[in-house]
Amino acid sequence: MDKRKIGSLEVSVVGVGCNNFGGRIDAERTREVVDAALDAGINFFDTADIYGGTLSEQYLAQALGSRRKDVIIATKFGYPIEGQGGGAHPDYIRVAVEASLRRLNTDVIDLYQLHRPDPEVPVADTLGALDDLVKAGKVREIGCSNFTAAMIREAEAVVTSGAAPFVSVQNHYSLLHREPEADVLPECERLGLGFLPYFPLAKGLLTGKFRQGQPIPEGTRLSGNADALTDERLAVVEALIAFAEARGHTILDLAVSWLLAQPTVSSVIAGATRTEQIHANAAAAGWSLTEADRAEVESILAAHGVS
């Protein structure tokens, strides 16, 4: 599988979002998903300390075992954890990283990300603490998540000479949610930051499981959220399905390949609960959209009010 850069890291263009580990799937199913990902050439696993009630990091470590050296692990901190704390203050960062290192059973975190901005702590203080972790060899690269373009610029402006800067931004982005295109993606391109889209499959809407006039599948992320399945949303999904199938592909192929056609996107980190989903996600990266393809997709989205 092709790889792209995030700072000094080389990550597979399709990664695994580990938010299901410890929540929707247990340790054994996590192992099956991780095994399938490694077999497919995926080397990038993105988790967070809060996922699965802190079990995601632990289950990922157990599933990898001695193969830890073969992969890139990204995790996040900042959301509150009962008994541990939360936020982006330097004192808490020192606590959070040690907890994640223990759960991940590793000496170093490849990409350590601030999960959300902390308005109570100057970003310069957060960056200083993260730089200390890099210098101590506990973290290789640092990133941020849910940052606006203004926040990205502020972080770039206050990082001190020779200190570790953010090398990545992880925000919500998909065919159906294009907000980052306004200013975050241009800012990433200007600074050479890798962009990691979360919810790249729109919580399942872009997998082909949800169709107009058909029952909502049980056990999916959206099965209890009918408000997200409006007629308008399903209409654009049907149009995208028709576009993809006319070219011998699925809407999932389109969702992944469209994101990878954006020059700032480093890896599409889709979640999975089954090995078949890993196989489909990995295969989806094989479609190289032409300029004509992308222009037609733009027309479809514009016709349905997605911009």
List the catalytic residue out of 51, 92, 173, 198: 51
What are the C-alpha distances in Å from 302 to residues 181, 245, 305?
A: 15, 20, 5
Contact 293, 165 (CB under 8 A): no
Sequence-distant (6+) residues with CB within 8 A of 67 are 38
Residue 79 is a catalytic residue: no
Structure tokens at 133: 């972790």
SS3 for 74?
strand
Residue 175 φ/ψ, nearest 5 degrees: -55, -30
Which helix H or strand E contains 144, and what residues bound it?
strand 139-145
Residue type, 81: I
List the structure tokens of 288. 């190289």
Give the total residue count for the chain.
307
Query: Which DSSP string do the residues of 165-196 spell out, in sequence order?
Result: PEEEEEEE-BTTB-GGGTTHHHHHHHHT-EEE
Distance CA 1, CA 41 (A): 6
Show the CA angle centred on residue 192, arms to residues 43 and 70, nearest 5°: 15
Q: Estimate the share of the chain in helix, then strand, then coil, as percent rounded to the nearest 5.
A: 45, 20, 35
CB-CB neighbours of 219 under 10 Å: 8
Residue 21 burial (10 A CB sphere; 0-12, 13-18, 19+): buried
Catalytic residues: 51
